[in-house]
Amino acid sequence: MQAPSILSPSVSARAKAIRTGAGWAPNESISFIYGFPAPECLPNEAIAGASARALKTHGEWALQYGGDPGLANVLIKKLARDQKIMCTRENLMITAGSSQAIANICELMLDPGDVVLSEAPTFLGTARMMRNLGVEIEPVPLDDDGVRVDQLEASLIRLRTAGKKPKLFYVIPTFQNPTGVTTTLARRQRIVELAHEFDFAILEDDAYHDLRFTEERLPPLYVLDNGVRTFYTGTFSKILAPGLRLGWMVAHPDLIARISALKTEGGASPYSLHTGLEYCGPDGADLDANIARLREIYKRRCELMQDALTEFMPADVGWTKPKGGFFVWLTLPPNIDVTEMIASVRARGVDYLPGNACFFDGSGKNNIRLAFSYAAEDSLAEGIRIIAGEIRARC
Amino acid sequence: MQAPSILSPSVSARAKAIRTGAGWAPNESISFIYGFPAPECLPNEAIAGASARALKTHGEWALQYGGDPGLANVLIKKLARDQKIMCTRENLMITAGSSQAIANICELMLDPGDVVLSEAPTFLGTARMMRNLGVEIEPVPLDDDGVRVDQLEASLIRLRTAGKKPKLFYVIPTFQNPTGVTTTLARRQRIVELAHEFDFAILEDDAYHDLRFTEERLPPLYVLDNGVRTFYTGTFSKILAPGLRLGWMVAHPDLIARISALKTEGGASPYSLHTGLEYCGPDGADLDANIARLREIYKRRCELMQDALTEFMPADVGWTKPKGGFFVWLTLPPNIDVTEMIASVRARGVDYLPGNACFFDGSGKNNIRLAFSYAAEDSLAEGIRIIAGEIRARC
């Protein structure tokens, strides 16, 4: 087939700037690369029952055009009880996964050339989205206590001096992706203060909030900010099933109304919404029970990985100690380039995400993101042993 | 809650231009307003079975992050056999409904200020999307033989004289929404000629293709164009169930690859994809049987509505005679404003879509779109009788 003349002269300026990427398939025997839920965490039988009930009791509406049959009410109760986020249907929007929520918020807020602050490293899906939107990213580093708010402030002052006003700060304060660290309460308060002082919005991605391994629960930025300038996003992908594509955002009602007006792609699938509601039940009890189960499973997985790291890694490799979520972040000696180690590790049946995939500027080549969420539980130690062996060979 | 300062100074230029709209719910007793499938056309039991099989046989993948388990192969066979569109996985993309396909294509192709040609009247979802994108719309009228290609050519010449080059022509050549008319073969050929001569792309929305009431099947523009400059979109919403949010586009592989790279919101729900595949079966036999059933149902509904129009409408009301699809388009005497008639018709338990909702410039106030697809079959005549009574009172 001949390449059409419409391609090169006529696509939008943004499309022209983007190269195509290759597909992927998780086919490794011990896969640490993807932030996927463990297969045993996906409630296949309960979902089959929920869909059957939805199709029987909601009739045509489970398969028709339309919206949410009441999952928002379940979420409103849950957010009030667990996250201490008080919201109504006016400031909650259910979306096709939190990636759609984040895309919608970026679409609402950002024009090409705008300046956006972001944790670095960060979630690569959002990083890619922002690159596609043609915004300028100002990276903010992290340490074991989360966002470096001193560095955030320094960036804000430098940008102001340069006549630049950032619109948005993208932050994952709890069990961060990719590092697993949690931003302390004092730092959260400082982020909100800075947002008011420098007049920027906060995009708080709280995908891992419920998957905590301890009883500690820090207030979201949305709560500290009283919901004035924070967009809060969450997802059923980590606490129920990614395949349903169900997520949400909470924001000021005026902002939700504007996003509603902008939306062109439609929201969550009505079939997923009805299935999700029937799964949760009106009081959300089955979702609560599932979350309690997942917390145990991921806590055990994280401990197994931590034990293996302690046992097998050379002394000059450091790693984070997450209190929740899916990920551990490794820092190797600076002379090791983990992108060059991928092939030999993969040849031994293991994969991981090279740290540079999570940065905007190609740094992080001596970092590795390890997901303890997906690989078989009894393979976690073996996978770490193999990676450690490859690192030792390069130390 | 106080309105945030971020709203008015900082949202994107595009977002600022758009007002928020109110929600809706179809609660009329005889509803002609929405292009919804009839409740009896939605195969609830078969979908329950398909989901149960998907969750059992595909294991975690029915609920995991990921993509299509093989629905593309079913579509490739169907498109080759029925639409005579030859494609491979390289030039087919499954999307979250055809509205996502159309949104993705617009995003790929269009920058604010670009000129787009569109049938007028047209599908209001796409009309809204294009308004949101800030493009300039050049409307092209229709008659009983479909797109007025003479008017299309006149527009193209006028635009060229004005130094403007349209990028895209949005067209629904088969059982058009809202008019129900079909563009003839000769006119289809002329559209493709003009696309080559004036170097624009074609966005062919073929949502109703399979729902034909006769054996006649005209070749899509995509076929006449050999797929060189046509984006072809279709949907499972009309032939299976809207609630699954499954649609597709076919285009040159380079364009599909670029859209892939641009995508931020994710595609169809994996749960819907697995359910859809299990419903269709690898050879698509159950989908074929369903389409055959729907053709009979909608044909009968269309005939009932035509009969009622003939029986009840005043002599100076005209309407289209669709050979497929969901809609009949009424033209009333020019002194009647159908927007002013909505309330009294609704008070009698009936609703319809005023024609102006389908135009870009507010014209069409003496037109009505009637969907014969959704209201109860035995209420169609009564609904027409009521509307006709209101029209008579104004003649």
**A6 contacts B99? CB cut-off 8 A:** no
- Residues of A within 8 A of B91 (CB-CB) are 1
CA A135/CA A113 separation, integer angstroms = 5
Q: Going along A150-301, which residue ranges are E strands? A: 168-171, 201-205, 230-235, 247-250
Query: Which DSSP category does B17 fall into?
Result: T
Structure confidence by residue, pLDDT tens digits, B321-358: 999 999 999 999 999 999 999 999 999 999 999 999 99
* Crossing angle for the helix pair A270-280 and B270-280, to the nearest 10 degrees: 110
**B63 contacts A7? CB cut-off 8 A:** no
| pLDDT attached to residue B76 | 97
Counting every residue written for chain B, the total comes to 395
CA distance B142 to chain A (A): 25
Structure confidence by residue, pLDDT tens digits, B181-216: 999 999 999 999 999 999 999 999 999 999 999 999
| pLDDT attached to residue B162 | 97
Q: Indicate where chain A has its CATH 3.90.1150.10 domain(s).
A: 7-42+288-392
**A64 contacts B1? CB cut-off 8 A:** no
User: Do residues A300 and A126 make contact, with C-beta atoms less than 8 angstroms apart?
Assistant: no
Q: Is the pLDDT of residue B43 over 70?
A: yes
Q: Please list the pLDDT of chain A residue by residue as tens digits (395 residues).
A: 343 444 433 444 444 333 222 233 344 489 999 999 999 999 999 999 999 999 999 999 999 998 899 999 999 999 999 999 999 999 999 999 999 999 999 989 999 999 999 999 999 899 888 888 899 999 999 999 999 999 999 999 999 999 999 999 999 999 999 999 999 999 999 999 999 999 999 999 999 999 999 999 999 999 999 999 999 999 999 999 999 999 999 999 999 999 998 887 788 999 999 999 999 998 999 999 999 999 999 999 999 999 999 999 999 999 999 999 999 999 999 999 999 999 999 999 999 999 999 999 999 999 999 999 999 999 999 999 999 999 999 98
Cross-chain CB nearest to A63 (options B106, B241, B274):
B241
Q: Which of A33, A60, A123, A194 has the highest number of chain B CBs within 10 A, making it the mutation to test binding with B?
A: A60
Q: Is the pLDDT of residue B387 over 90?
A: yes
* Cis preceding-peptide flag for B121 (omega within 30 of 0): yes
Q: Which of A322-326, A340-344, B20-24, B132-136 has the lowest mean pLDDT?
A: B20-24
- Residues of B within 8 A of A274 (CB-CB) are 243
Q: Is the pLDDT of residue B266 over 60?
A: yes
**A51 contacts B45? CB cut-off 8 A:** no
Class of domain B7-43+288-392: alpha beta
The token duo for B167 is 């990028």
Q: Which of A55, A90, A115 has the highest number of chain B CBs within 10 A, making it the mutation to test binding with B?
A: A55
Residues 258-277 of A with CB under 8 A from B: 258, 260-262, 264-266, 269-272, 274-275
The token duo for B27 is 């609660």
Host H or E run for residue A368: strand A367-371
CA-closest candidate to residue B36, choices B23, B47, B26:
B26
Q: Indicate where chain B has its CATH 3.40.640.10 domain(s).
A: 58-286
**A243 contacts B63? CB cut-off 8 A:** yes
**B48 contacts A12? CB cut-off 8 A:** no
Q: Is the pLDDT of residue B269 over 60?
A: yes
Phi, psi (deg, nearest 5) at residue B237:
-65, -35
Fold of B58-286: Aspartate Aminotransferase; domain 2 (3.40.640)
CA A315/CA A336 separation, integer angstroms = 14
Model ipTM value: 0.91
- CA-CA distances (angstroms) from residue A228 to A207, A222, A224, A232, A253? 20, 8, 10, 11, 10
| pLDDT attached to residue A364 | 97
- CA-CA distances (angstroms) from residue B169 to B99, B145, B181, B206, B236? 16, 18, 17, 14, 23
Say if A61 is an interface residue toward chain B (CB within 8 Å). yes
- Residues of A within 8 A of B51 (CB-CB) are 47-48, 51-52
Q: What is the mean pLDDT of chain B?
A: 92
- Torsion angle, alpha carbons of A315, A319, A323, A326, to 10: -130
CATH code for residues A45-286: 3.40.640.10
Q: Indicate where chain A has its CATH 3.40.640.10 domain(s).
A: 45-286
Fold of A7-42+288-392: Aspartate Aminotransferase, domain 1 (3.90.1150)
Q: pLDDT > 90: what percent of chain B?
A: 87
User: Do residues A96 and B266 make contact, with C-beta atoms less than 8 angstroms apart?
Assistant: yes
User: From its phi and psi, is residue A23 left (phi > 0), alpha (psi between -120 and 50) or beta?
Assistant: beta
Q: Indicate where chain B has its CATH 3.90.1150.10 domain(s).
A: 7-43+288-392
Cross-chain CB nearest to B47 (options A42, A63, A262):
A63
Query: Which DSSP category does B215 fall into?
Result: S
More confident residue, B257 or A264: B257
Query: Which residue shows structure tokens 């919005």?
Result: A201
**A106 contacts B243? CB cut-off 8 A:** no
| pLDDT attached to residue A317 | 98
Q: Which of A2, A8, A12 has the highest number of chain B CBs within 10 A, making it the mutation to test binding with B?
A: A12
Q: How many CB atoms lie within 10 A of CB B395?
A: 12
Chain A, chain B: beta-carbon pairs less than 8 Å apart: 267
| pLDDT attached to residue B2 | 40
| pLDDT attached to residue A26 | 43
Cross-chain CB nearest to A10 (options B34, B109, B272):
B109
Phi, psi (deg, nearest 5) at residue A368:
-135, 135
CA A373 from centroid of its chain's CA atoms: 14
